[in-house]
Structure 1
Amino acid sequence: MEELVYDQINETVYTETMDNGLKVFLLAKPEMAKTFGIFTTNYGSIDQTFTPIGQEEKVTVPEGIAHFLEHKLFEKEDRDVFQDFTKLGASANAFTSFTKTAYLFTATSQIEKNVETLLNFVQDPYFSEESVEKEKGIIAQEIRMYDDQPDWRSFFGTIQSLYHHHPVKVDIAGTVDSIQNITKDDLYTCYETFYHPSNMVLFVAGNIEPEAMMKQIRENQDSKEFPAAPEINRSYPNEPAEVAKANNSITMPVTTAKAMVGVKEKVTHLTGKELLRAELLSSMILDYYFSKSGAFYEELYRNDLIDDSFQFETELDRQFGFTILGGDTRKPEEMTKRVKEMLHELKENSISDEDFTRMKRKKIGQFMRALNSLEFIANQFTHYHTLGVDLFDVLPVIESLTSNDAEEYLQHWINEEAISVFQVKPQEDE
């Protein structure tokens, strides 16, 4: 077991790679009453085309299968795993993102048994044709529920306008039609390819004793047999730099229009640390100009183009990246036109050394406050680990950034062909 000591934030992470390839990270926080565990596989909704283990030809599986598989792992032949956690006094959950699937629990007692339960149920799949057919109806209802949510439709509608071919444009849950094509064999194919321990990370943070916990995990993994670690061969389509649609819209029964401006980010050439720097600079610049204390936000609000729902986010990951700004507005055309102009104006705007120092201090403060959350640490540590970055390297990277870095980033960030506008319009406007 190796110790990763971070003197700057007074934290120590204990890590070990099991013989089967599983990477384990433990963070002891004895002052915490609760413990959070998360078991993550480097496999998400964008991983639709790949070469299955033991085969030579690529396959393309139905859209939404990673999310479907997440649901099915909780159901065993004789029970529902959620009940197992409930009996142990734990709260369990799971989520599927574009690039990851994670299974997690929070508990204040019986931590060892909860960790065993987490490992054992994820590493013991059970799928039957009958249960798969039953699940299709459940997930179809979930998809329809999200289809009725204007915020979700505006978010995914923007991504779909940005991308031509890349599977990031597909709803993580798939479509009502696509999930009908999922079979038991498809689930086993995806599981055997992506759920090998060597493609997974376990992070446990909270009131634990690291040596005893690592010994327990080691013994648990040694008691199971896995094939040799496979080389995973994923395939993604070639994606043009320009957006799929510069303008797009739908109508829904909303009283106020929703308008979003999306930026298609260039990320495929970036390594892990470079991706981190780009993500930090993007979030800091957006916060500086478009947060409630920013000059751009003030102008938009003063001119009645936005309300308190206005927000922004950047997501940069392997193979894709996007920035989205927007919210409710009574003047969607005017608002999106002005936001696009503001994005282009960023190249002409200069950030002084003094202002950039304040931006860094704010970012550092936000990061340090977030470290009070076990969920944040475990989730983000796992996320950055899959990108080849250490979460606790974020702080020194922020400190190393300069106003010149921000100026250089701004010069290459915004291009008209990489911007798309998406609107959810009230039905009466048709």
Structure 2
Amino acid sequence: MHKQTYKQFGESLYTETLDNGLTVNILPKQGFRKTYAIFTTSFGSIDRTFIPQGKQTHVTQPGGIAHFLEHKMFDKKGYDAFDLFGKYGADSNAFTSFTRTSYLFSATQNIKENLDILLNFVQEPYFTKQSVEKEKGIIGQEIQMYDDDPDWKLYMGILNNLYPKHPVHIDIAGTVSSIAKITADDLYLAHKTFYHPANMDLFIVGNVDPNKTLEWVIQNQNEKAFPKFELPKVQLPPEDPNGKDIIKRQVAKMAVNRPKSIIGLKGLDQVPDGRAGLAYKLKVNLLLYLLFGDSSQEYLNLYDSGVVDDTFSYEFDLARSFHYVSFSSDTDHPDQFNEQIEKILANAQQILPKLKAQFELAKKEMMGRLLSRMDSIESIANGYEGQLFDQATIFDQEMIYEKLTLADLEQVAASLFKPESLSTFEIMPMEVKS
């Protein structure tokens, strides 16, 4: 087992890749009573078109398949995994993103038993036609609830503008019509293709002994037989490198009191692999904080002029095969909001050289946030992105922040902030009939 020591934080991370390909990370935390474990597969909502194991041609599964599979994994023959976790004193949950599906538990006792439950229920699928049909109604209600949420519609609207071909524009849960097509065979096929240990990682952090915990995991995995495996070959539609496929503007009407506007910026620049990709992510996050954080002059100007209010937010998302930035707010002046955000982005390289003092303060603020996350076992485990950043953890981020310069941010702004990559989506109040 490999031991990575972070002396400046007094932490040690133990890592082992098992014979079946599963990557196991164990971080003991002295003084903590709780243990948190998260079991993740590199399979998300965008992974709909792929070559099944042992086959030669692609298949395309219905939208929402990864999220549907996540829901159905807890339902076993004769028991429910949620109830079993509860019996052993653990809280459990799961979530699906565009590129990953994770299953987790937290507990202060019976850690071995709960680890066995986690590994077993995720690795042993059980689906029936009847249970799949029942789940369609449950997830269908969830989808309809989000369809009525203006903020969710705003978010999905800008993704559709930025990625009209890429499956990231499809709701993670799918649509009512797409999940109606899902069968038990579809779920078994997806599980067989993506839920092999070689395509998964396990992160355990908390009050554990690393050697004993690894023995538990090895014992569990040695009791199972896994077939020969090749990493899944996912097919995605080609993206125009110059952003010519971006839909520049759309407007929708909903039952809202005030207009909502969101500006999206599709990343057209090439993100480096591994730790360099993590450095890129931290640079963009720091860049956005410097320009749009609640203490920045640009944000204060927007707020003081009434263009934005406390609903203003920005987001940067970087994942396998895509990255984008978004800025959103409720606003009585959507045209001004769009114009002002675009102006700040266009002038970023003229603004940044004047912010040397603010840059140093912003960097300290981001590092302070990072340090606070290190006291949360959930943040430590959930922040692990596996292969995306070459197995980096949040403890690796401190050194990257230390080395960042204002020139790094200027370089990122020049490559990321391009006018051809911009799009807007607005939600306007419905007209009231007299």
8 Å contact kept, 1:4–1:12: yes
Paired position in structure 1 for 2:429: 426
8 Å contact kept, 1:44–1:100: yes
Residue pairs, 1:24-103, within 5 angstroms: 24-103=24-103
Paired position in structure 2 for 1:338: 340
1:371 counterpart (370, 374, 387):
374
8 Å contact kept, 1:164–1:239: no
Aligned partner letter, 1:369 = S
Is there any run of 5+ residues in structure 1 with no aligned partner, and where? none
Aligned partner letter, 1:371 = M
Paired position in structure 1 for 2:279: 277
Paired position in structure 1 for 2:327: 325
Aligned partner letter, 1:214 = L
In structure 1, C-alpha distance between the alignment counterparts of 2:108 and 2:145, rounded to whole Å: 33
Aligned partner letter, 1:9 = F
In structure 2, C-alpha distance between the alignment counterparts of 1:305 and 1:79, rounded to whole Å: 54
How many correspondences in the alignment?
Answer: 429
Measured against aligned partners, the alpha-carbon deviations of 1:343-378 in whole angstroms (never above 9, x if no partner) come to: 111122233543322222111111111111111110
User: Quick one: structure 1 residues 105 and 86, their matched pair in 2 at CA, closer, same or farther if it must change by over 3 Å?
Assistant: same
Give SS of 2:54's match.
coil
Paired position in structure 1 for 2:201: 201
Aligned partner letter, 2:138 = I
Paired position in structure 1 for 2:135: 135
1:8 CA drift (Å) = 2.4
1:179 CA drift (Å) = 0.7
In structure 2, C-alpha distance between the alignment counterparts of 1:269 and 1:30, rounded to whole Å: 37
Paired position in structure 1 for 2:416: 413
8 Å contact kept, 1:267–1:318: no
In structure 1, C-alpha distance between the alignment counterparts of 2:139 and 2:41, rounded to whole Å: 21
Paired position in structure 2 for 1:309: 311
Paired position in structure 2 for 1:234: 234
1:387 CA drift (Å) = 3.3
Aligned partner letter, 1:53 = Q
In structure 1, C-alpha distance between the alignment counterparts of 2:276 and 2:5, rounded to whole Å: 23
1:267 CA drift (Å) = 5.2
1:389 CA drift (Å) = 4.4
8 Å contact kept, 1:132–1:184: yes
1:252 counterpart (248, 251, 254):
254
Aligned partner letter, 2:358 = D
In structure 2, C-alpha distance between the alignment counterparts of 1:414 and 1:429, rounded to whole Å: 39
Give SS of 1:349's match.
helix
In structure 2, C-alpha distance between the alignment counterparts of 1:77 and 1:182, rounded to whole Å: 20
Aligned partner letter, 2:346 = H
Q: Equivalent pairs: percent with the same residue?
A: 41
8 Å contact kept, 1:267–1:316: no
User: Quick one: structure 1 residues 70 and 426, their matched pair in 2 at CA, closer, same or farther if it must change by over 3 Å?
Assistant: same
In structure 2, C-alpha distance between the alignment counterparts of 1:338 and 1:162, rounded to whole Å: 20
In structure 2, C-alpha distance between the alignment counterparts of 1:287 and 1:429, rounded to whole Å: 39
User: Quick one: structure 1 residues 248 and 370, their matched pair in 2 at CA, closer, same or farther if it must change by over 3 Å?
Assistant: same
Paired position in structure 1 for 2:148: 148
8 Å contact kept, 1:204–1:378: yes
8 Å contact kept, 1:268–1:319: no
In structure 1, C-alpha distance between the alignment counterparts of 2:110 and 2:409, rounded to whole Å: 48
Measured against aligned partners, the alpha-carbon deviations of 1:167-226 in whole angstroms (never above 9, x if no partner) come to: 111100011111111111111111001000010001111111111111111100001110
In structure 2, C-alpha distance between the alignment counterparts of 1:113 and 1:384, rounded to whole Å: 25
Give SS of 1:16's match.
strand
Is there any run of 5+ residues in structure 2 with no aligned partner, and where? none
Residue pairs, 1:108-187, within 5 angstroms: 108-187=108-187
8 Å contact kept, 2:143–2:175: yes
In structure 1, C-alpha distance between the alignment counterparts of 2:43 and 2:432, rounded to whole Å: 41
8 Å contact kept, 1:20–1:229: no
Matched, 1:357 2:363: no
8 Å contact kept, 1:258–1:329: yes
TM-score (ref. length: structure 2): 0.96
Matched, 1:397 2:400: yes
8 Å contact kept, 1:23–1:202: yes
Give SS of 2:352's match.
coil
In structure 2, C-alpha distance between the alignment counterparts of 1:267 and 1:233, rounded to whole Å: 24
In structure 2, C-alpha distance between the alignment counterparts of 1:307 and 1:148, rounded to whole Å: 23
Give SS of 2:164's match.
coil
8 Å contact kept, 1:318–1:387: no
Paired position in structure 2 for 1:266: 268
Bigger Cα displacement from structure 2, 194-203 vs 276-285: 276-285
Query: C-alpha root-mean-square deviation of aligned residues, in Å?
Result: 1.5
8 Å contact kept, 1:268–1:318: no
Bigger Cα displacement from structure 2, 224-233 vs 418-427: 224-233
In structure 1, C-alpha distance between the alignment counterparts of 2:108 and 2:254, rounded to whole Å: 44
In structure 1, C-alpha distance between the alignment counterparts of 2:30 and 2:93, rounded to whole Å: 24
In structure 2, C-alpha distance between the alignment counterparts of 1:277 and 1:250, rounded to whole Å: 37
8 Å contact kept, 1:39–1:104: yes
1:269 CA drift (Å) = 4.9
Paired position in structure 2 for 1:214: 214
In structure 2, C-alpha distance between the alignment counterparts of 1:373 and 1:266, rounded to whole Å: 34
